[in-house]
């Protein structure tokens, strides 16, 4: 199907107030959202021309071109900084200590009695875990803060709460009737008299 190229006469021309609003809106966004917004406005007001968007809105044409390419392909590009920057998790920085923590938490853990969740409940608190790791000889600089320790235990699959024991069901009339019926049918053993002859 032949697609007619949009010329400036077919395009809407935004007012200076609208241009200021669009610049402000784009400045409040980051990353892929910002590029998608800039690409949509470029298609609407500039016929998909990144250079025209650069002149009209003051946006970088390379960013607008990337947004237009993402819009066409549907593939979102990740920059090296956003994909590989940031601090590593504590467990990745200290794998030996994390393994010792996992073994310690498993020793204090109990599966949920209802088996509705794969999480294990543990009596071990973050403060207790830190004290136990220090007692095992791990240095202070290898141990995280108590709040980080709580997050680490949650990421390892342990919930920091008191272990809830399975509670017996309350007696109801139906169960009492069943047990009464069983007692009636089960003959009682009589003590055997042994005779010494």
Identify the pLDDT of residue 20: 94
User: What is the rounded average pLDDT of the residues 139-155?
Assistant: 86
Chain mean pLDDT for the chain: 80
* SS3 at position 88: coil
3-state helix, strand, coil in the chain (%, to 5): 55, 5, 40
CA distance 30 to 114: 44
140 pLDDT above the threshold of 90: no
Per-residue pLDDT band at 169 (split at 50, 70, 90): low
Q: Which of 6, 24, 57, 75 is nearest to 66 (CA)?
A: 75
The winner for highest mean pLDDT among 15-19, 103-107, 139-143, 153-157 is 15-19
What average pLDDT score do residues 138-162 get? 81
Strand order in the sheet with 120-122: 109-111, 120-122, 158-160
Enter the tokens of residue 149: 């320790």
Which residue, among 111, 35, 41, has the nearest Cα to 73 in the 3D structure? 35
Whether residue 35 has pLDDT greater than 90: yes
pLDDT tops 60 at residue 197: no
User: Average pLDDT in the 120-129 region?
Assistant: 78
């Amino acid at each position: 199907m032949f697609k007619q190229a949009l010329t400036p006469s077919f395009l809407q021309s935004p007012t200076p107030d609208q241009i200021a609003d669009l610049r402000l809106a784009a400045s409040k966004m980051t990353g892929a959202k910002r590029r998608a917004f800039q690409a949509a406005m470029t298609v609407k007001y500039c016929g998909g021309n990144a250079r025209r968007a650069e002149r009209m809105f003051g946006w970088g044409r390379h960013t607008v071109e990337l947004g237009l390419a993402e819009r066409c392909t549907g593939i979102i590009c990740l920059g090296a900084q956003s994909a590989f920057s940031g601090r590593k998790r504590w467990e990745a920085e200290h794998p030996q200590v994390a393994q010792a923590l996992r073994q310690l938490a498993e020793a204090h853990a109990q599966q949920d009695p209802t088996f509705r969740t794969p999480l294990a409940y543990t009596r071990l608190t973050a403060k207790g875990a830190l004290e136990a790791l220090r007692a095992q000889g791990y240095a202070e600089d290898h141990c995280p803060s108590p709040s980080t320790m709580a997050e680490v235990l949650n990421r390892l699959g342990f919930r920091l709460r008191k272990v809830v024991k399975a509670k017996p069901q309350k007696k109801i009339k139906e169960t009492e009737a069943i047990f009464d019926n069983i007692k009636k049918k089960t003959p009682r053993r009589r003590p055997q008299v042994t005779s010494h002859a």
